[in-house]
Structure 1
Amino acid sequence: MAAEVQDQPASLSKIDSAIDDTSPASPSDVKPKHRRSSSTVSGVFNINDLEKEGVELKIAPDTQKLNWKVNTSPSTIDDKEVLNKLLTTPPIKRIDLATPLGLVLTARNNKGVTIKDACDVIYKQFKKKADDELEAPYLAGFEWDREECYTKFIIHQKKTGDVSSGGSSKKSKKAKGGEEES
């Protein structure tokens, strides 16, 4: 019996706790050590990497046709499909947006910044502003000045929206005027 007990510790001493029998056989099967591997999407780039490579960015022209008031929710935009389009080609994870007053906002999306992401960030900044506080309340689009700052877009705003929204506001003013006279 004593011989059997001595054999067991000898066999246990050969087991190395650093080696796990359940681990994958090849190194390629080993999962990465960091947590956020799922947040990395292929084909979506870091803007700093694109700057180093000198890649030309193209801003979606649809941003100029939104007719969106920056202090109203982006969900009020008529064309909902435009909101899901990527803001840039190639898609990027993050972009800084500079307001006319010099404030810098950052839109982020690990799957690629969309027009909605940019609008959400702008709306978050301007939602508490009244219409008369905004000099130019409508989004006119974005400008990218590669020479001045590669990683920043300039937000352009305009004083009036398209003709269709201008006509509806005139009708509402007439309706209000008619109610006051009655």
Structure 2
Amino acid sequence: MSADTVEPLTKIDSAISGLSSSPPDSKGAAKGHRRASSSAAGVYNINDLEKEGKELQIAKETQRLNWRLNTSPSTIDEKDVLKKFLTEPPVKKIDLHFPLGLEVTARNLKGVTIKDALDAIHKQFKKKADDELELPVLAGFEWDKEESWTRLIVHQKKEGQAPSTKKKGKKGKEDEE
């Protein structure tokens, strides 16, 4: 076969007879967006934020959840907090790094929420008993752009604080053993 006979076949094979350009060009579709339907507007890829130098802000609500890592996130009293984005601007995925080296990834194409992060952490710790965990309570997250732009450091603590409505005696902190 010569090269002349191959070219006409490509038009026939693509089932677009009579058009000189391919359909994406004729529709004027935006380039670079492969899955426009599944990712929400205003939700970023964390690597793009790093290139642009955009700073992340972590939701302050994560610091007062007093959530035990081995319990389901649905046990949290304030259910509304779970729907909030973990970071501002929202990202599609972020790594959560524990001081001892464990790393989990929270993903959500519509923006990672606090619940997504807690679900990812819970998946790692759900089979652990309370006495197996040295620091079983989530203290919050920290973003250290000097160490790594694309991950959050997970902070843990020994015990959750009592709800702020109850007054704690002076023994409260000393009693923890």
**TM-score, normalised via structure 2 length:** 0.76
Q: How does 1:60-71 map to 2 (within 5 A)?
A: 60-71=59-70
Q: Does 2:146 align with 1:147?
A: yes
Q: Which residue of 2 aligns with 1:88?
A: 87
Report the aligned-residue RMSD: 2.7
The 2-side partners of 1:97 and 1:30 are apart by 35
Structure-2 change in CA distance of 1:55 and 1:29 (3 Å): closer
Partner amino acid for 1:129?
A: K
The superposition leaves residues 39-97 of structure 1 with CA deviations (integer Å, 9 ceiling, x where unpaired) of 22211000000001100100000000111000000000000000000000001001000
Partner amino acid for 1:106?
A: T
Q: Which residue of 1 aligns with 2:46?
A: 47
SS at match of 2:141: strand
The 2-side partners of 1:37 and 1:157 are apart by 37
SS at match of 1:120: helix
SS at match of 2:37: helix
Question: Larger C-alpha radius of gyration, 1 or 2?
Answer: 1
Q: Which residue of 1 aligns with 2:123?
A: 124
Identity %: 65
Shift of 1:164: 3.6
Structure-2 change in CA distance of 1:104 and 1:69 (3 Å): same
SS at match of 2:95: strand
Structure 1 residues without counterparts, runs of 5 or longer = 1-15, 168-182
Structure 2 residues without counterparts, runs of 5 or longer = 1-10, 167-177
Partner amino acid for 1:152?
A: R
SS at match of 2:123: helix
What is the total number of aligned residue pairs between the two structures? 151
The 2-side partners of 1:164 and 1:38 are apart by 42
Q: Does 2:95 align with 1:106?
A: no
Q: Which residue of 1 aligns with 2:157?
A: 158
The 2-side partners of 1:72 and 1:31 are apart by 44
Structure-2 change in CA distance of 1:31 and 1:96 (3 Å): closer
Structure-2 change in CA distance of 1:31 and 1:64 (3 Å): closer
Structure-2 change in CA distance of 1:79 and 1:149 (3 Å): same
